[in-house]
Structure 1
Amino acid sequence: MPDARTIIAAKRDGRALDAAQLDWFAQGLADGRVSDAQAAAFAMAVLLNGMTGAERAALTRAMRDTGDVLAWDLPGPVLDKHSTGGVGDAVSLVLAPALAVCGAYVPMISGRGLGHTGGTLDKLEAIPGYRTDLDEARLRRVVAETGCAITGATGEIAPADRRLYAVRDVSGTVESLDLITASILSKKLAAGLDALVLDVKCGSGAFMKDAATAHALAESLVAGADAAGCRAAALVTDMNEPLARSAGNALEVANAVALLRGEEVDARLWDVTVALGGEALALGGLAADPAEGAHRLAEALQSGRAAERFGTMVAAQGGPADFVENSRRHLPRAPVVEEVTQPGRGFVSEIDTAALGRAVVALGGGRRVQGDPIDPAVGLDDLAGLGALVDPQTPLALVHGTDPDAVAAAAGAVRAAYGISDVPPDPAPLIRERVRG
């Protein structure tokens, strides 16, 4: 009979684990036989020594099978998207309702912030009353009636991943390719998807800093999904600057609503959302190819129907019925707002995007340790992007916080995260690579 110490020691020493050992460990995560300390030790051993493809597949299946695996009987394909985590990334809030408008059904099982990156559930919980803990019956009802739902994994869906996900956040093991793959796919495959599109971030604000590791993760995710019978594609997208001009939970929700309503369209957020949607619609058979899918998704956004669908979803999950129309009235606001300026004049030549994410965490917008409360109102807004011309009258960002000292510290961190030069940097592609099964 396997036991936690033997399994941890084997992986610590670089030995491969078999399916029986990984099944036992996953079940132990789900039922409590494996402690948080043992889960963290296992995660660190995997991070340091890696897993074979067979181990990774076995861990994914084992974690998926610790809970229910949903099956759907709906008149359209069941689609979803997942991002590996970045800064200013509110794609899910825009993409899910747009896909639903196009005829897809989207049971989006999302997560919380990890390390310096924001979490979709944390963003949505900035909306008063919004429930991110739907049970299976309510999830099915919302998806059938609305076309989309964004919720967390319940105790019935991949409970092993819920334990390991939380431990990774506070044990310095977020970056493991093997654990990222198993975590993402165990939840997504448990949701009973027909197809999955993946946004693999690459750059200074991503867990995958370079093109080679981002490509490896994209291939791992697509191969793992395909092997489980779920059609998949991945886009490797740039995260050398925030995806949007806002970073922080309520601020990102406001930014997403502004895009949905057509009031203020953040170009990078729009482009990634449309590209991912095009891939998803093609995978699901709702478009002949990704280009046609992107056109259909853009129409859903431009027509305002995606905004209406987002509002319907928010109300169905407990939020205000008029949220889209009056989002800024409903969202919390920080009492202290400070401009971040720098003394000279020049172009933004580089951004330490992870440092911006850490500044949000330090303000209270993320977790330093498991269980930390989150202040949804704090964060950064009006962030200058690469190539922007800045001077003492043109701020790098606005810091939103509750404590003047914390705001001042965050302003210093933001200033240090920006590199300024006399010439603008060469533009880099937003979508670096496509990986298809």
Structure 2
Amino acid sequence: MSVEQFDVVDLIRAKRDGGELSCEEINWVVDAYTRGYVVPEQMSALTMAIFLNGMGRREIRDLTLAMIASGETMSFAGLGKRTVDKHSTGGVGDKITLPLMPLVAAFGVAVPQLSGRGLGHTGGTLDKLESIPGWRAELTSAQMYAQLRDVGGVICAAGATLAPADKKLYALRDITGTVEAIPLIASSIMSKKIAEGTESLVLDVKFGSGAFITDINRSRELAQTMVQLGADAGVTTSALLTDMSVPLGRAIGNANEVRESVEVLAGGGPADVVELTVALAREMLTLAGQPDVDVAAALADGRAMDVWRRSILAQGGDPDAALPVARETHTVLAESSGYVTGVAALPFGVGAWRLGAGRARPGDAVQHAAGIDVHVKPGDEVRVGQPLYTLSADEPARFERALAAVAGALTVGSERPPTRQLVAERVSA
């Protein structure tokens, strides 16, 4: 039996008392937890100590590199194209990846978009796309590489070999109240993105009621931490801080968010979804060496739609197939006239989740047709009896709890509210 390099209890005490862990200690504890020597109870204590006392920049970098080293890394060096990826910290109605990948790929840049599934009130990109008949999320590395070469972009599941330590640690954080720790969020996101092998990365860091981190100052701290991690690893990284106090677009769910994304690719769609898609595409293309291209034109003239259709076909989907439609709907009407003063993101995310659009536990099935379509935005004028939002579900028994979640989340008043700024600021190294 081999002798372990460190005693995990010593490391827990060090972080508990506000000390720093050395590079060697971090490398050892990540490896020991991944192989099962450090047990979940011990790692829970360590992550809570990190949550309470934080980590320095060097510690966060060492933690990120240790999680990368727990698995394989990818490289797209042989593609002959610049590569750029985007990561969002998640929100309500955030379907931006769907129109964004084909839009950026339309300019000859490779977009390897490794995505995940939803848990709780934030939707998962793969869940949305799986509402398209035949579409598959699981690709081999060879299939992913071929699609990047031939189509220009891919949205697929991250392989189990990329940063497996992060997968194991995230599952633990999710059940121990330590998800919101900035060092753990930053190292989790960046370990996967750096291991993925992209040359450049744009981060969409949310703040507001529908975000994991609601306060803009803490969101800024997270963005700065991740941008620094990217720079340290040689990945050109920038971030946009974006407002998630109101759902993005009008659709919240899976199939309905795909419909809305296709509308954007066809040159239409809600103004906020178009605005954020274009802003992120400009940022991605700037990092990829194309700062002056006309991004909006590629939506208007169908180039982005062509890439979308080819990518769906490449992954076994039918871009012309009818998307699932719920068996039952329930529409809520305005009880007074005036201006919409607020549409709180979090309650609508929870409402869609209760309708079946999300999952309570990893592995649960989602109902692709379930969700909420919000017909109005803050600042819109409404009259008594006008439809405000429509709930969709296959099981009408779900309506009661969903309606309870969204009660009071959409407000109507006598004065039009000030215009919201969707993109608050840019963060770069």
CA spacing shift, 1:138–1:370, aligned 2, 3 Å:
same
In the alignment, is the contact (CA less than 8 A) between 1:70 and 1:191 conserved in 2? Answer: yes
Query: What residue number does 1:316 align with?
Result: 314
Q: Does 1:134 align with 2:134?
A: no
Query: What residue number does 1:50 align with?
Result: 54
Q: Which amino acid aligns with 1:195?
A: S
Query: What residue number does 1:156 align with?
Result: 161
CA spacing shift, 1:240–1:192, aligned 2, 3 Å:
same
Deviates more, 1:170-179 or 1:82-91: 170-179
How far did 1:278 drift? 0.6
Give the Cα–Cα distance (whole angstroms) in 2 for the partners of residues 381 and 96 of structure 1. Answer: 24
Give the Cα–Cα distance (whole angstroms) in 1 for the partners of residues 49 and 410 of structure 2. Answer: 35
How far did 1:211 drift? 2.1
Q: 1:215 aligns with which of 206, 220, 236?
A: 220
CA spacing shift, 1:11–1:363, aligned 2, 3 Å:
farther
Q: 1:227 aligns with which of 229, 232, 251?
A: 232
Q: 1:335 aligns with which of 307, 312, 327?
A: 327
Give the Cα–Cα distance (whole angstroms) in 1 for the partners of residues 112 and 48 of structure 2. Answer: 31
Query: What residue number does 1:269 align with?
Result: 273
Deviates more, 1:409-418 or 1:61-70: 409-418
Give the Cα–Cα distance (whole angstroms) in 2 for the partners of residues 298 and 384 of structure 1. Answer: 24
Q: How does 1:6-405 map to 2 (within 5 A)?
A: 6-34=10-38, 39-72=43-76, 73-262=78-267, 264-287=268-291, 292-293=292-293, 295=294, 297-320=295-318, 323=319, 325-326=320-321, 329=322, 331-405=323-397
Q: Does 1:407 align with 2:420?
A: no
Give the Cα–Cα distance (whole angstroms) in 1 for the partners of residues 405 and 208 of structure 2. Answer: 19
CA spacing shift, 1:361–1:12, aligned 2, 3 Å:
farther
In the alignment, is the contact (CA less than 8 A) between 1:379 and 1:399 conserved in 2? Answer: yes
How far did 1:102 drift? 0.5
Give the Cα–Cα distance (whole angstroms) in 2 for the partners of residues 312 and 29 of structure 1. Answer: 41
How far did 1:242 drift? 0.8
CA spacing shift, 1:39–1:419, aligned 2, 3 Å:
farther
Deviates more, 1:264-273 or 1:121-130: 121-130
Give the Cα–Cα distance (whole angstroms) in 1 for the partners of residues 250 and 283 of structure 2. Answer: 25
In the alignment, is the contact (CA less than 8 A) between 1:235 and 1:434 conserved in 2? Answer: yes
SS at match of 1:168: helix
How far did 1:40 drift? 4.6
CA spacing shift, 1:3–1:97, aligned 2, 3 Å:
farther
SS at match of 1:107: strand
How far did 1:33 drift? 4.3
How far did 1:163 drift? 2.3
In the alignment, is the contact (CA less than 8 A) between 1:115 and 1:169 conserved in 2? Answer: no
SS at match of 1:247: strand
CA spacing shift, 1:392–1:217, aligned 2, 3 Å:
same
Q: Which amino acid aligns with 1:312?
A: R
CA spacing shift, 1:303–1:33, aligned 2, 3 Å:
farther
Q: Does 1:433 align with 2:425?
A: yes
**Offset from partner CA, 1:405-426 (integer Å, 9 cap, x none):** 3113212322321222211111
Q: Which amino acid aligns with 2:250?
A: R
Name stretches of at least 5 consecutive residues in structure 2 with no aligned partner.
Answer: none
SS at match of 1:375: coil
Deviates more, 1:393-402 or 1:100-109: 393-402
Count of matched residue pairs: 424
SS at match of 2:237: strand
Give the Cα–Cα distance (whole angstroms) in 1 for the partners of residues 40 and 134 of structure 2. Answer: 31
In the alignment, is the contact (CA less than 8 A) between 2:227 and 2:427 conserved in 1? Answer: yes
Query: What residue number does 1:418 align with?
Result: 410
Q: Which amino acid aligns with 1:126?
A: S
CA spacing shift, 1:130–1:44, aligned 2, 3 Å:
farther
In the alignment, is the contact (CA less than 8 A) between 2:119 and 2:360 conserved in 1? Answer: no
Q: Which amino acid aligns with 1:299?
A: A
CA RMSD of aligned residues (A): 2.0
In the alignment, is the contact (CA less than 8 A) between 1:170 and 1:369 conserved in 2? Answer: no
**Offset from partner CA, 1:116-165 (integer Å, 9 cap, x none):** 21121221222233222222122112211111111122122111222233
How far did 1:280 drift? 1.0
**Offset from partner CA, 1:162-207 (integer Å, 9 cap, x none):** 2233343444333221122111111111111111111111111112
Q: Which amino acid aligns with 1:366?
A: G
In the alignment, is the contact (CA less than 8 A) between 2:264 and 2:270 conserved in 1? Answer: yes
CA spacing shift, 1:360–1:30, aligned 2, 3 Å:
farther
Identity %: 41
**TM-score (norm: length of structure 1):** 0.91
How far did 1:105 drift? 0.5
SS at match of 2:251: coil
Give the Cα–Cα distance (whole angstroms) in 2 for the partners of residues 35 and 278 of structure 1. Answer: 45
How far did 1:319 drift? 1.6
SS at match of 1:281: helix
Q: Does 1:2 align with 2:6?
A: yes
SS at match of 1:398: strand
Q: Which amino acid aligns with 1:424?
A: R
